[in-house]
Homo-oligomer: A and B are copies of this chain.
Amino acid sequence: MLGAIEAGGTKFVCAVGDESGKIIERVQFPTTVPEETIPNVIEFFKKYPVKAIGIGSFGPIDVNKESPTYGYITSTPKKGWKDYPFVQTLKAAFSVPIGFNTDVNAAALGEATIGAAKGLDSCLYITVGTGIGAGAIVQGKLLQGLTHPEMGHILVRRHPNDEYQGKCPYHHDCLEGLAAGPAIEARWGEKGFHLVERAEVWDLEGYYIAQALMQYILILSPKRIILGGGVMKQEQVFSSIYKYLPELVNHYVVLPELSDYIVSPGLGDDAGITGALMLAHQAFQEN
């Protein structure tokens, strides 16, 4: 039996399951401070004979195994979690191999293994919700370099009619600053689910995401792109992306049929927790 943690900024999902991605039991609770949240995690897993645990975590995190702070959540503004030794804490409680990566890399792994990119050695998973993040599988492996990708903060060109200044505390009007859920709410004055009927909201959203996809495609050339997260539940955004992306790329690279290339998660909201099971399996095998 394998353990999985999807550690989000808002909620934690813990599950036990197997390497095929089958979830046997799960629980979820709000992310508060580590002193409160982590005992809940430990209590859940104490009930099961887990042989490894995989963590897909909000970040930034340190995924460099040679670093002294490997396994830490690093510079998050989230109270209590800055410089938090996530892997070490779990390891102290369970003495089993611990897999550790970003929530979005976990989701990419889940989707590449049994989801919308099953059978492909390359894919990109993007979540558009409270924030924007992405994980990637490149030549069969989770993308990692100096550190994990931070693709949500790339620069985009502002739409000439968009006067909203942007919400990112670091870059103001980067992709996340202009297109994540809180930016939509701040620009239009209401939460997204109250804006369903306003076509211009989702047209603009697709305008920004299409720009980001162009950059990702030219740089990474993924074999499939999976768009998840709360904002992407508005199907209109896909239509807007399918409209703007070909205009931007302008035949410079040949793209596959867009409705097959840029898709919703095959695992729905379970991409992250399923991927965390895969991370547990990888950790077990590497150990």
In the bound assembly, the distance between CA atoms of A260 and B221 in angstroms comes to: 28
In the bound assembly, the distance between CA atoms of A222 and B220 in angstroms comes to: 12
* Chain B residues with CB below 8 A from A216, complex form: 219
A141 within 8 A of B: yes
Q: Copy number in this complex?
A: 2
Contact A252 B219 (CB under 8 A): no
Interface string of A208-219 (1 = CB under 8 A from B): 000100111111
Q: Which of B60, B146, B218 touches A154 (beta carbons < 8 Å)?
A: B218
Q: Is the interface of A mostly helix, strand, loop or mixed?
A: loop
In the bound assembly, the distance between CA atoms of A272 and B222 in angstroms comes to: 25
Q: Shortest beta-carbon distance, A58 to chain B, in Å?
A: 15
Contact A149 B252 (CB under 8 A): no
Contact A219 B215 (CB under 8 A): yes
A65 within 8 A of B: no
* Chain B residues with CB below 8 A from A150, complex form: 218, 221, 252-253
Contact A151 to B218, CB < 8 A, known contacts A139-B139, A143-B138 = yes
Residues of A within 8 A of B (CB): 60, 75, 122, 138-139, 141, 143-151, 153-157, 170-171, 211, 214-223, 248, 250-254, 256
